[in-house]
């Protein structure tokens, strides 16, 4: 008797399913079929687990199979959105002189630097004591003016406002920069488009406002990089 009731219920369910699917459009029909497959696999898995013919973990895996298409479809739909988000990613900018390499993450306001030449070659600026920084600054002021200005920018952005003014220094223009250097200044890949160059320039210049610890030197370098690439 229970088997007969189950058979009648199955026949009734199939008749209802077929009646429902006939009135759907092709697009709605595909969606309905995938939902039907999910519930069919889930129901069958529950029956097999209840009868002891399948482990519950296998039932869970089986139930996830019909969802793979939905997940894949949602992933494809999300690609344009992810592409848009990727345009707003903020990569650190790199400023290189003869004696220093300074990296600035304008999004987090973090700044780091490495000494490339001289007594402290190979050391990071954060490793140097105040006396060592002053010694380095004195040496750069006498022998490498651009590196001295960059060091000032590093120290001022770190909150040290006692540095010697270097507003009279004119950094190298666009013609003196290589394309690779320009991309690093703007925090871009070498395959970046002109549109990305302009957007990166605008974003960085906005973050160099004096109220945000801006630097005339860094702003001039960013402007030169934009001019060179665009």
Which of 86, 107, 123 terminates a domain? The answer is 86
- Residue 7's Cβ-side half-sphere holds a number of Cα atoms within 13 Å equal to 4
Mark which of 65, 86, 107 sits at the end of a domain: 86
Last residue of a domain, one of 86, 106, 121: 86
Q: What is the pLDDT of residue 82?
A: 47
Asked whether residue 61 falls in the same domain as residue 133, the answer is no
- If residue 195 lies in a helix (H) or strand (E), which one and from where to where? helix 194-206
Q: What is the pLDDT of residue 71?
A: 52
Q: For residues 30 and 58, which has the higher predicted lDDT (pLDDT)?
A: 30
Statement: residue 8 has pLDDT above 50:
yes
The full DSSP string for 144-187 is -HHHHHHHHHHHHHTT---SPP-TT-----GGGS-HHHHHHHHT
Residue 205 sits in a domain whose CATH number is 1.10.287.110
Res. 221: pLDDT tops 60: yes
The larger pLDDT score, comparing residue 125 to residue 157, is at 125
Q: In this model, does residue 80 exceed pLDDT 80?
A: no
Task: Specify whether 48 is located in the same domain as 120.
Answer: no
Domain that holds residue 219: 93-229
Work out the angle at residue 217's Cα, subtended by the Cα atoms of residues 212 and 219, and round it to the nearest 5 degrees.
Answer: 60
Looking at the structure, tell me whether residues 51 and 97 fall in a common domain.
no
Mean pLDDT value across the chain: 75
Judgement on whether residues 104 and 179 belong to the same structural domain of the protein: yes
Residue of 141, 104, 139, 145 whose CA lies nearest to 121: 139
Which band of pLDDT confidence, cut at 50, 70 and 90, is reported for residue 199?
very high
Task: Please report which confidence band the pLDDT of residue 130 belongs to, taking 50, 70 and 90 as the band edges.
Answer: very high
Q: Are residues 113 and 193 both part of a single domain? A: yes
Say yes or no to pLDDT of 133 above 80: yes
Output the pTM of the full model.
0.57
């Amino acid at each position: 008797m229970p088997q007969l009731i189950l058979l009648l219920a199955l026949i009734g369910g199939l008749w209802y399913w077929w009646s429902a699917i006939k009135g759907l459009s092709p697009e709605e029909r595909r969606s309905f079929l995938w939902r039907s497959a999910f519930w069919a696999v889930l129901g069958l898995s529950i029956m097999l687990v209840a009868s002891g013919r399948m482990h519950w973990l296998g039932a869970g895996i089986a139930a996830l199979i019909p969802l793979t298409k939905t997940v894949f479809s949602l992933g494809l739909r999300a690609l344009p959105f992810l592409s848009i988000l990727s345009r707003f990613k903020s990569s650190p900018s790199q400023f290189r002189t003869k004696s220093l390499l300074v990296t600035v993450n304008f999004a987090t306001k973090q700044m780091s630097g490495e000494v490339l030449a001289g007594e402290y070659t190979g050391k990071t600026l954060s490793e140097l004591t105040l006396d060592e920084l002053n010694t380095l600054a004195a040496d750069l002021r006498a022998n490498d003016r651009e590196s001295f200005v960059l060091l000032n920018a590093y120290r001022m952005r770190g909150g040290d406002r006692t540095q010697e003014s270097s507003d009279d220094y004119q950094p190298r223009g666009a013609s003196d920069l290589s394309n690779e250097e320009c991309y690093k200044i703007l925090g871009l890949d070498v395959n970046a488009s002109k549109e990305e160059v302009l957007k990166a320039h605008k974003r960085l210049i906005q973050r160099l406002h004096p109220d945000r610890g801006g630097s005339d030197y860094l702003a001039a370098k960013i402007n030169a990089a934009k001019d060179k690439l665009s």
